[in-house]
Structure formats: C-alpha cells, structure tokens
Amino acid sequence: WIGRMGRLHVAYSTAVSSSDQGGFAEKRRLMRLHSKFLKKVLSWSDALGTTQFGALEIHELLGHHSWSLALLEQEQPPQQPLHQQTNTHTNNNNNTEDDEDDEDASDWSILGLQSDAAQYLALAEQPTALLTYLQTLPPPTATE
C-alpha cells in the first residue's frame, strides 16, 4: 500500500501542477489539502504499521512535499491568512470541519514548511536529500 501512496502522490502532484483552473490560490489550497492527506496516511502507518512513527517512505513523501509547498509559498506569499480568505469568500458563519483543521494545522509559513520538510526527511533517514535542500537556502545575513 505504501507503493500505491507513492504513485497516488505523483499522480496528484502532476495533476495539480498541470491544471490551470482556479489560479495560484487554488493550487496552494489543493497542495495544502494533499499535505493534510499525507499526514493522515502517516498517522495510519504509525498506528497500523510495524515502524514506530510511521513508514519511512511516507516520511520521505511528506518531506519532499513540504519543501515543494515552501517553494510554492516563496513564489507568491498570501496577502492575508488562509482562514480570513475563506471567511471573506463565504457568507455563512458556520465553522466547518475544514476551517477547524486549518486553525489547528501546522505552520504554513515558508520557515514552518521548511522545518517540517527537515523533520520528515530526518525521520525518513534521508540526510542527503535534506542536505541538498539546505544547500539551496540563501546564506545567513549579518544579523542572523
């Protein structure tokens, strides 16, 4: 089933990146939704699998996906938080399950996504992939 998740991830990512419907905001939303899906797959892998903290392959998928989300955020950062964007486009005041998930979700900032990617790649025992990503970061500034 882990191989199927890998193929599903590749197919989904390809479909989202090749689709022009909805624009950049829709692409960001779909990639974040896929991130939530992969995290749920990881939790199932932890609960039902033989490896503590989940399958290494799923950690690797999440690491690469989190880094690609960080790159997506760098291309065009949001002007306002996601929950405010959702509330301005809908007229109902009912909290849906998706809105609650967004509030409880991980940090969607560039640094938060890069940190998630580093964590998942470390748990996947993929130090070379992590180092490759870290080498693409800009050098620190004088204050850093």
- Per-residue model confidence (pLDDT) at position 79: 62
- Per-residue model confidence (pLDDT) at position 58: 85
Q: Write down the pTM of the prediction.
A: 0.72
- Per-residue model confidence (pLDDT) at position 100: 46
- Per-residue model confidence (pLDDT) at position 93: 44
Distances (CA, A) of 11 to 4, 18, 60: 10, 11, 16
Cα–Cα nearest to 39, from 95, 128, 123? 123
Cα–Cα nearest to 51, from 9, 60, 92? 60
The residues, any chain, with a CB within 8 Å of residue 43's CB and separated by 6 or more, are 54
Cα–Cα nearest to 15, from 4, 2, 30, 36? 30
Over the chain (144 residues), what is each successive 10-residue block's mean pLDDT?
Answer: 79 82 84 87 79 82 90 76 47 46 64 90 89 90 88
Structural tokens at position 80 = 């306002």
